[in-house]
Every structure is written in C-alpha cells, then in structure tokens.
Structure 1
C-alpha cells in the first residue's frame, strides 16, 4: 500500500503561525503597557487637582477671614462677607420648594436686595419649615456671604405656583419678576428668628481627588503585575 503525504497548507506553516502569535503577543503587551501608562497619568492628574483644590480652599479661608465689607454697588467679590447697603424688594420674594433640613421638608426663602446703584442680588435668607405659616419679613441691614450660583436639581418641568419655585437661576427670576438680571447670589449670615441658616457651599475638598488618585494608581499597579506575570516572567 502506498503512503500518501498531505502537505501542510500555507496558512498553517509553522514559521507563519509563529509570526502571527508573536505579533499578537507583542500587541497585547503594548496595549497593557499603554493602559498602565494611562492610569498612572490619570493618578498624577488627580493629585494635581487635589493640590489645586487645596490652594483654592486656602484662598477662600483667607478671603472669609477679612473684615466685613460695606457693599452698595456693582457685582460683589465671591466668597467675601458683606454688609449690603440698599433696600429689600420683598414683593419679589420667592420660595424654593422641597428643601430638606434635618429630615424635614421646607423652603429656601430667597429675597432680592437692590443695592444703591440698582444692582440686584438674590439673598437666600435661610430655611423655613413647610406648614409653619409665613416666614418673617426681610428688614434692616443684610449681612451676607457671597456664593457661586447654586446647582438646584429640578425633577420635572413644574410650573411656578405663585411665588413657589422648584429651581432658580438669574434668567428665570428676571423673567418672572420683570427685573434686571441679578448680579449675584448670597447667603444670609443672620437669619430672622425661626429660620435656619444654611451652610455655605464650597468646592469639594481634596479627599475626593485623593481617593480617585489612589484608585488610578491601584489600577496601574494591577496592570503592572499582569504585565510581569504574563509577559516578563514568561520570557524568563
């Protein structure tokens, strides 16, 4: 009986199949190294952000340690404590609904204040419990802390009911009150009796960025371990 030899197809030649495997091997190693480099860069970026945020918080503390400033015209400096000079526009007071304080639902009472040059600021006078009747009327001088515009979350396109709002921004208030655009948003430091003062909103602290940085560095370390385990050690 004659023996028939079947040649190996070109696609299965040892030299070619070995080259394909080496190409895939190198491609996988390069992709893993790129991933390790990317996670290290992201970790360093988060450390930079933590340092930058730390400097910002220090600057805010320095600004707020300055003496209170009498303010009667123009856009107020952010984070500064001010004594506003002008008049309350009590007829345009608004209530922000569904604001929770210590487990209770209430309102943020926001009353516009007009400086002597006509500039309007929105003053958040504090929290007032729902069902407690009318909050105290705004009167006298207002001692405030200048804030950035808050990020209120609106769950739906709820219409304005009287003076009750779900959300507020300069344009919405100006359109409702037929007034000029408010130039700033401030928190009252001396709320009226029965009202609860609100905590100031500051940029997130450095802890969040440090946690993100740690996560990225741990991912980089795990990627480095995989590279050593499956590539460096395999070559040895």
Structure 2
C-alpha cells in the first residue's frame, strides 16, 4: 500500500503535454481578464476626474460667454456654465428621444428632449436643449404656452455633440425624431447656416406652462468601475484555481489501467 502511494505522487510520463493546450488557452483568458480589470481601474480614475470637472464647472464657476467657434475645445470647455442672449426659433425645434426622472423614485419617464435653435444677439445660432417633455406633449400645440417669445436670456451647461453608437437607431428627420445629440446633423436638417459646434443644456428655470422641464443634466454620474474591476479580478482568480486543480490532477493521477487481454 505504501509503495502504491509513493508511486502515485510522481508525475505521469508525458503529463505535461496533456495540459499544454489548456494551459495556453487559460493563459490567454487570464491576460484578457486582468486587462479588463486594470482597464476598469483606469476608467475609475477617468470617471472621478470627469465628475470633479463637471461639479467644478457647473456649480462653482460663474456663467461665462460662449467660447469662440475657432477655439472650441470639448476637453477644456464642455460642462462650463454659460449665459446667452437672443431669440428662440421655436418653429425649427427638434425632438431627441430620451428618459427623465419621474415623480416615483426609480421609475423614468419616456419622452423627448426639445432642442431649439437660438439666434444669438451677437450673431450665429446655437442649439439649446430647453428640457424634457413626456411623449403625450410631443406636439408643440400640446404645450404652446411653453414657448418663450421675444428676446430672452438663457443660462445653462455647455455640451458637445453626442456620437451615434452602433446600438443607437438612425435619426428620422422626416418625423423630426432623433436618438442622439447630433449637432451637425440636426443643424443641417434644420437649415441652420451658421451653427455653433456645441449646444447649451438649459438650467432649471421654469418655462411658461411648465414644459419643457430644464435642468435635466445630472452631474452625479454613476461610478461603479471599482466594482467591475473586482468582478474581473475575481473571475481571473477563479480561473487560476480551476486550472490549478485541473493541472494537478492531470499531472499526478495515475493513468487508467489498460484493459486485460484475453
């Protein structure tokens, strides 16, 4: 019995070859998992920096004039508070699909964000996101009292154009429906000859009639990247443990005896 246990503790001849292919596959998967974990840690730092920048620019800094078109830099200027003066062109408003927080916590309202061209008193046109309207108030006639007529002043947050990803539907200009803040596309469709390369997210100043509701920009962005990183690192640890058990058994278990010949 003792001799059997001692002989079973030795490596089986050629056992290393049996784990070579699984080992290479596991090594590649381990590299991917670790890479995803470290990438989430990098994203965590980027998100924290973004949140800090948004909070500083949107709440601390006083409203500033719009940046010149030729010096517009999204990394430097986006999320700054600005104040503009001019006139709304309500006849050329554009609807962008979106969600907004409802009265019931955790339940979002489905509807549209109303992007309206704003003719600046010093020349040029900038799109203003006046706020959110529910689906039943999609038609301008249903909220006619919400239009601001004549010269006015708007305070809000500067935003850049929002790229359309592969999961975002294409816009339908005929039906006046868009799914992302495509400043260039919306401006071209609306015939704006001198658009600014950014838009203004209007603050929460009430509109006549209560709609659209501005101030929908949320600066408390979720930051779950540390949790995601721990998840990827945890899966990597499980992979190491599973392969370790698999490799130990392959290397140390005795081969099955050959069937006896008659």
Q: TM-score, normalised by structure 1?
A: 0.73
RMSD: 3.1
Given that 1:39 and 1:220 are in contact with CA atoms closer than 8 Å, whether structure 2 keeps it comes out as yes
Quick check: which has more Rg, 1 or 2?
1
Asked if 2 retains the 8 angstrom alpha-carbon contact of 1:69 and 1:81, the reply is yes
Alignment gaps of 5+ in structure 1: 1-17
CA shift in 2, pair 1:134/1:49, >3 Å: same
Q: How many residues align?
A: 214
Superposition map of 1:1-236 within 5 A: 19=14, 22-71=16-65, 74-75=68-69, 77-85=77-85, 87-96=86-95, 99=98, 101=100, 102=102, 106-129=111-134, 130-131=136-137, 132-139=142-149, 140-150=152-162, 155=169, 158-161=172-175, 164-167=176-179, 169-179=182-192, 180-189=194-203, 190-193=205-208, 194-195=210-211, 196-200=213-217, 205-207=222-224, 209-232=225-248, 235=251
Query: C-alpha deviations, 1:68-105, integer Å up to 9, x for none?
Result: 224156246211111113x2242553141665553655
Distance in 1 of aligned mates of 2:159 and 2:46: 19
- What does residue 260 of structure 2 align with? none
Three-state SS of the structure 2 residue aligned to 1:112 is: strand
Q: Distance in 1 between matches of 2:57 and 2:96?
A: 32
For residues 123 and 191 of structure 1, do their structure 2 counterparts lie closer, same or farther at Cα, with a shift above 3 Å needed? farther
Distance 1:37 1:61 in 2: 36
TM-score, L = length of structure 2: 0.67
